[in-house]
Amino acid sequence: MKQSRIEDVMPLTPMQEGLFFHHLLSESQDGVSDVYVAQLVIGLEGPVDAELLRKSAGELLRRHPHLRVGIRQRRRGGAVQVVPRDVVVDWWECEVG
């Protein structure tokens, strides 16, 4: 039997409903970005084991399902939070200097 790629599906919390509302509102306005979406850029100095750091980020997501949650809108309206069983860490490295 094939295992589902989805670990869990749950209703949104009141806070998630508010965030999702603002996301939909920002999508409807041309040129306005979603204020609740952020990317993280970290500058490090000195020797860094980049592979170990990437694996650690993956392990963090594996251990804590709430960090893998995505919000999906249902065809009938409403939205739910979906927890994928596995995620791939989107990782990009560059050297400056």
Is residue 26 situated within a structural domain? no
- Tens of pLDDT, residue by residue over 52-64, are 999 999 999 999 9
pLDDT at 10: 95
Is residue 25 situated within a structural domain? no
Is residue 84 situated within a structural domain? yes
- Quick check: pTM over 0.75? no
Residues sharing a CB contact under 8 Å with residue 70, sequence separation 6 or more, in sequence order: 81, 82, 84
Is residue 5 situated within a structural domain? yes
Average pLDDT (68-72) is 92
| Residue 84 domain boundaries | 1-11+59-89
Is residue 24 situated within a structural domain? no
Band of residue 1 on the pLDDT scale cut at 50, 70, 90: confident
- 7 phi/psi in degrees, rounded to 5: -85, -40
